[in-house]
Amino acid sequence: MKNTFDKSRVLMQSFNRACDTLEIELESRAKIVGVSELIYAEKQSTGFEIPGIESELQLIFLHFYKHLFSLAGGNNDFMLHWFYTKQQHLNATPADICKSKAGLSKLTQYMESINKIN
């Protein structure tokens, strides 16, 4: 049980660090993982159950973040600009797209295809 708890906490910390870098507020973090702000706030110290839909969405988001970081070469200004600017191929901002499971999956696939080209 302790091992799962530790993994949950590490996943939550990693997710929050990525969200901090992209200046994603609590309300949007909760939407990304499909829970209310209250539940998200309650899970800050323990993380979500693994396996579970919330932890799965956190992992998908981190996969997207890894691709964005790679594309940007770690340049935080570029990452912020890209994340909050409407992307022609996506017809929306990544910040808006990632707030649903389908959108997050679409965004991650898009980033994978971009990174294959670069």
Query: Do residues 93 and 85 lie in contact, with contact meaning Cβ atoms separated by under 8 Å?
Result: yes
Judge if pTM exceeds 0.75. Answer: yes
Distance between CA atoms of residues 14 and 10, nearest Å: 6
Q: Six-digit token pair at 95? A: 């910040």
Distance between CA atoms of residues 41 and 114, nearest Å: 34
Query: At 92, phi and psi to the nearest 5?
Result: -170, 175
30-52: pLDDT as tens digits: 999 999 999 999 999 999 999 99
Distance between CA atoms of residues 63 and 82, nearest Å: 16
Neighbours of 1 (CB within 10 A): 5
User: What residue type is assigned to position 7 of the chain?
Assistant: K
55-83: pLDDT as tens digits: 999 999 999 999 999 999 999 999 999 99
**pLDDT value at position 117?**
66
Whether the predicted pLDDT of 5 surpasses 70? no
Query: At 76, phi and psi to the nearest 5?
Result: -65, -40
